[in-house]
Homo-oligomer: A and B are copies of this chain.
Amino acid sequence: MSTDSDSDATDELARDRLIDLAGEFYDQFAAGNVPAMEIPTRTKSNIVFDEDKDVWVYGDRTSTRSANSVRGAQKLLKAIYTIDFLAEQLDQDRSSTLRELYYLSESWDEERAQFSDQDESNQLVEDLEIVSEVTREDFHMRPEESGATIMGPLYLREQTRRGEREIHCQEDVGEGGYQIPNNPDTIEFLDHDADFVLCVETGGMRDRLVENGFDEEYSVIVVHLKGQPARATRRITRRLNDELDLPVVVFCDGDPWSYRIYASVAYGSIKSAHLSEYLATPTAKYIGIQPEDIVTYDLPTDPLSDSDINALESELDDPRFRDDYWTEQIELQLEIGKKAEQQALASRGLDFVTDTYLPERLTEMGVI
């Protein structure tokens, strides 16, 4: 939910958190200590399942960014300049992309505060997200990647720079659907007539569902993931689940890369486990293509490549996939040595997916 005054309050809070952070460095200096910033270690071995919040978060291991070396001192200098820039950006109600921040640093008077490459500025913004507990979107940092589209019985209000827009995601949009904005927290859900949310990996399958009227017949909000989903896409999926209490199912190709797409929707990514609560939808279920479906529906397949096999083995080793369902499916896939795309269902006819496959799977899963 986001009204004008709400978004002002969010901006104010983000700005305060940033300035507090700068204040902490100041206090460390004043107390005669070497300023430092402590950050959770961001590796697979340091993510743990938070039973309360039902999401994967960082564990106890931390790394320290300290000014006790020239390199460390420069990192904190860059942090201060970035905080200054972000605080001003929030004050003026402007926004910018991560890439613009990198280039903008070239205009800073203190040359040693300038970023040497974009990885450095990206990493710093992530560090600031973690320590300030404010998301990048609330710093008004836009991603390069745009969100995907929505089609379904959902009526929403989006707060744009040009005023409010009320849009029904079936009646007021073209065949292409409603384009998710970079920051979906500018959206307020007004009304809906949906029974569940179906996230779809490929554009071809998204278009098939829309052409076949699946969103109308089954009262479903179809969210196009467009491959590995952007943060905006994951955020709105989480909000649809959270605020409208709608079950979420994820429909991808049947290969290890697609299981990672599902994982990024359901569990969040390792790189941004600090955002799991904001981006992940822990109750999201995987509908298919399951390795089991390859057998059951006798789908056209491709053989697993060496990199597919490695990826599957690495998933068996990933805490997020460590349950009976995934172990069984992944082991089955390694055994049959095959993968299948979601559009392979077309080998049974163009309507097979909407008339047979999805209804059968949704019934099995208890969604319909």
Chain A residues packing against B (C-beta within 8 Å): 94-97, 99-100, 103-104, 106-107, 142, 144-147, 149, 158, 160-162, 165, 167, 170-182, 186-187, 202-204, 207-208, 210-211, 213, 216, 226, 300, 341, 343-350
How many copies of this chain sit in the oligomeric assembly?
2
Smallest CB separation, A138 vs chain B (Å): 16
**Given the contacts A106-B347, A211-B161, A343-B100, A204 and B167 also touching, CB distance less than 8 Å:** no
- Note all chain B residues with C-beta closer than 8 A to A210: 161
B202 x A175 contact (CB < 8 A) = no
Smallest CB separation, A151 vs chain B (Å): 10
Smallest CB separation, A324 vs chain B (Å): 31
**Given the contacts A343-B99, A350-B104, A144 and B202 also touching, CB distance less than 8 Å:** yes
State the 3 A-B residue pairs at the shortest beta-carbon distance, nearest first: A176-B179, A97-B204, A100-B346
- Note all chain B residues with C-beta closer than 8 A to A172: 165, 167, 172
Q: Which of B104, B144, B341 contacts A203 (CB 8 A)?
A: B144
- Note all chain B residues with C-beta closer than 8 A to A100: 204, 208, 343, 346, 350
The contact sample of 5 A-B pairs, CB cut-off 8 A, is: A96-B350, A99-B341, A100-B204, A100-B346, A158-B174
Complex Cα spacing A94 to B354, Å: 14
Q: Which of B99, B144, B179, B349 contacts A179 (CB 8 A)?
A: B179
Complex Cα spacing A180 to B177, Å: 9
Q: Which of B176, B226, B346 contacts A147 (CB 8 A)?
A: B176
